[in-house]
Amino acid sequence: MRGTGSADYNEDFMAAELICFEEKCRARYPITQVIYNCPQCGGLLEAVYDKPEQSAPMLRRLWRDRRASNAPLDQSGVWRYRELIPFLPSYDGVVTLREGNTPLLESKQAAQYGGLDRLVFKHQGFNPTGSFKDNGMTCGTAQALRLGMTRVACVSTGNTSASMAAYASAAGLQPIIFIPHGNISYGKLAQALEYGARTLQVKANFDQILALVRQLAERLGIYLLNSINPFRIEGQKTIMAEMMDQRDWRSPDWVVLPGGNLGNVSAFGKALREMKDLGLIDRLPRLAVIQAEGAAPFYRLMRRKARRLSAVVHPETLATAIKIGDPVSWPKARHEVSTSQGTVEKVTEQQIADAKAVIGRCGIGCEPASAATLAGIRKLTASGVIAKDADVVAVLTGNVLKDPDYIYRYHTGALKAPSGAKLRSTFGNAPVIVPNDAKRIARMLEGS
């Protein structure tokens, strides 16, 4: 579980530092300073490094060779690409659960539904705790250990809490989780409880709780591991590195992903820019961020070309993983979408539910927030933004078992939107009650 192997000492770590993301500021801070925003201007922070000594061909060969290694660091789909995230002086304390290593899955049925000739899913639900959060959490936990922290905390609607609880407990840290009361999937909450997290249900929404927890973290010396933590972003960068490695370093035309707190699009864009700068890829894919209609502040920001994001005070969506009205990473996300000449779209609860059922019928499955990608692709191809023959990778962020109640309600016609309106069970597959009678069951099956 601990990171041992051929590169326990990182000779290049002194080149790492934290830099304010705001162009007018760009203040610089030591990599060991416990800060989440720039003390001078309040802007977001990012980790920045000198370029690795290896050339692009050498890095590609090194990362490919590591796939055959039995060293824990090399078996991790995050630390295998450690030359892209050299912020640690030593890898001895890294806790890995073999995160990453998630597949590219092609589906003709989903492509047809989305209006494409071909569609490939990068399924982060294959991670140890079932979501993309593990890629970032292994890095965030490593930094917590490096700083000598004993307690870590996060605000979560589900996936972050499950991931943080697992990695913190594996590292010997105490995980403390704050969740919106009554607004979390039991499938996700069960993971946090099982992994030993101290769990506090707060009568407030995600954004209100995050403000509360930031105060508590500073007062009590607790390390915060939400996506505002720049080291979480560094881990999530490796999702794009692994995807490009799996594609033999050929960039797709589009990468489509759900948008909640916008940490992923921030990480993806940073990774893609860095890989292009290193000569690992020859062009940037366009990023398409899909939000739920009832929690779409970033969509509104980009469509209105506003200077600042206006929060949605009461975000509403059944896709709880993206039920965020005031995403902290919006400045980074805006930069990455604009730099890649990408787009932002919003989709309804019905569109998410139907897209999720289609992904399930492909034998793949995902949590509700993940299905926003296919729903968004369907809208973007219909409007001509994404061409029918485009090379598209859609990121599925979480496992199908993250929210089983949602699935059951959809297929039995009992799923309701936050407004109370009943959603259509367009692709419903309700269980059938049958008698204990072989002949009658045979006749029913023969007629189906």
Reported as a single tens digit per residue, the pLDDT across 22-78 is 999 999 999 999 999 999 999 999 999 999 999 999 999 999 999 999 999 999 999
Cα distance between residue 11 and residue 7, in whole Å: 9
**Contact of 134 with 167, CB cutoff 8 Å:** yes
Reported as a single tens digit per residue, the pLDDT across 333-370 is 999 999 999 999 999 999 999 999 999 999 999 999 99
Cα distance between residue 167 and residue 160, in whole Å: 11
Reported as a single tens digit per residue, the pLDDT across 394-404 is 999 999 999 99
Among 23-37, 85-99, 201-215, 352-366, the minimum mean pLDDT is found in: 201-215
SS3 content of the chain, % helix, strand, coil (to 5): 40, 15, 45
Question: 445: part of which helix (H) or strand (E)?
Answer: helix 438-446
Percent of the chain with pLDDT over 70: 96
- DSSP SS3 for 217: helix
pLDDT band at 188 (very low <50, low <70, confident <90, very high): confident
pLDDT band at 6 (very low <50, low <70, confident <90, very high): very low
Cα distance between residue 216 and residue 197, in whole Å: 17
What ranges in 156-205 are assigned the alpha helix state H? 159-171, 186-194
Q: What angle do CA 105, 106, 108 make, to 5 degrees?
A: 150
Supply the pLDDT for residue 5: 47
Whole-prediction pTM value? 0.94
- What is the arithmetic mean of pLDDT over 212-223? 89
- What is the arithmetic mean of pLDDT over 181-190? 75
Concatenating the DSSP letter of every residue in 270-285 gives HHHHHHHHTTS-SSPP
List C-alpha distances in Å: 299 to 1, 255, 333: 40, 17, 11
Count the Cβ atoms, other than its own, within 10 Å of residue 66: 20
pLDDT band at 288 (very low <50, low <70, confident <90, very high): very high
Pairing of strands 254-258, 286-292: parallel
- What is the arithmetic mean of pLDDT over 175-193? 82
pLDDT at residue 83 is higher than 50: yes
**Contact of 396 with 123, CB cutoff 8 Å:** yes
What is the 8-class DSSP label of residue 95? Answer: B
What is the 8-class DSSP label of residue 331? Answer: H
Supply the pLDDT for residue 3: 56
pLDDT at residue 7 is higher than 60: no
Q: What angle do CA 41, 45, 48 make, to 5 degrees?
A: 130
Cα distance between residue 105 and residue 123, in whole Å: 7
Cα distance between residue 403 and residue 308, in whole Å: 33
* Phi and psi torsions of 302, nearest 5°: -70, -40
Of 369, 358, 402, 401, residue with least CA distance to 296: 369
Task: For 1-133, list the strands marked E by DSSP.
Answer: 17-20, 28-29, 45-48, 104-106, 120-123
Cα distance between residue 146 and residue 140, in whole Å: 10
Number of H helices, E strands in the chain: 15, 13
Supply the pLDDT for residue 13: 46
CATH architecture, range 104-127+231-411: 3-Layer(aba) Sandwich (3.40)
Count the Cβ atoms, other than its own, within 10 Å of residue 343: 21
**Contact of 279 with 340, CB cutoff 8 Å:** no
